[in-house]
Amino acid sequence: MNQLNALKQFSIIVADTSDIESICKYKPEDATTNPSLILQAVSSSINQYFVDQAVEYAKKKGGLYKEKIINASDKILVDLGIEILKKIPGYVSSEVDARLSFSTEECILKARKLIHLYEEEGISRNRVLIKLAATWECIKAAEELKKDNILCNLTLLFSLAQARACAESNVFLISPFVGRIYDWYVSQNLLSKSFIGKDPGVISVCKIYEYYKKYDYKTIIMGASFRNIEQILYLSGCDRLTISPVLLKELESNTRKIERHLNPPSVISVAPLPLSEEEFRWEHNQDPMAVQKLSEGIRNFGKDQLSLEKIFSKKI
């Protein structure tokens, strides 16, 4: 048995891509997208039909020039999500514009708009996860959206404070980032590249897993942002793992035996009182890596969103 199929015995496998061919090949349960992946897909001539369809939709809907560009960007996000859903049995994650990450109200409005676009095309909201950056504002938006059965995937998650706040707000799923944590420690010359057991990205997810299972939180943990298959295999047993096509291919071509590393505890403890907003901000602020990587991730996703809108600005 190859490692990909073996890993499926311990964790639900999710494809971290907008590439339909890869999704068909590796047969994941779910698929995740982000602004970078959407921009990559839109830049390919293969997906020109979706670009033209989004432009036509925006023009027909009307409104100011800026509104048309935003509507086209939202439409292609949904249309690519629908195409992905044809190939998978589970969820697709579609991300809210990162520039809205510090407004609970704006995130709620955008999430509802995206869900409406899906439902206009006959797709149930039960198959869509709205991706939001794990800021306090977005966590509160996810808490509110769940009341309307709109489920969220909180991404760009780097600290235990973020994970705690998500669980305490009953968020559906979180995506703690392994590779970006690893990158930060390497860039600061704080980590040897050779010993996976000391990988701070892996350790971070292990701590979140232990914390969630200790207090019986129902929020799903989906490890994300991997740099190598060793990071993935060390997290076997995590609820879900979202993996890029390059690493899915490597797992599929390797037959070395793997074992489950993460297991829930046999004893459940009483959960602590929820963090207040002040406590959340203070605890998160204690980790320079988490502060830097969250803000950097939001900025970069914002840039990719802007690049996507520039593509549509030339066509509208």
Residues annotated as catalytic (active site), given as ranges: 131
- What whole-number distance in Å separates Cα of residue 284 and Cα of residue 261? 27
SS3 31: strand
Q: How far apart are the first and last CA of the chain?
A: 51
Q: Which neighbouring-strand residues pair with 129?
A: 93, 151
Task: Provide φ and ψ at 173, rounded to 5°.
Answer: -150, 145
Task: Provide φ and ψ at 303, rounded to 5°.
Answer: -65, -40
Query: Which of 50, 244, 22, 30 minimizes the C-alpha distance to 126?
Result: 30
Query: Which of 215, 224, 235, 103 minimizes the C-alpha distance to 174?
Result: 224
- What whole-number distance in Å separates Cα of residue 216 and Cα of residue 46? 45
- The 3-class SS string of 130-191 reads EEEECCHHHHHHHHHHHCCCCEEEEEEECCHHHHHHHHHCCCCEEEEECHHHHHHHHHCCCC
User: CB atoms < 10 A from the CB of 231, how many?
Assistant: 21
SS3 122: coil
Query: Which of 10, 14, 4 minimizes the C-alpha distance to 222?
Result: 14
Q: Are strands 128-133 and 92-95 parallel, antiparallel or unpaired?
A: parallel
User: Which segments of 199-253 are extended strands (E)?
Assistant: 220-223, 240-243
Query: Which of 70, 170, 62, 146 minimizes the C-alpha distance to 113?
Result: 70
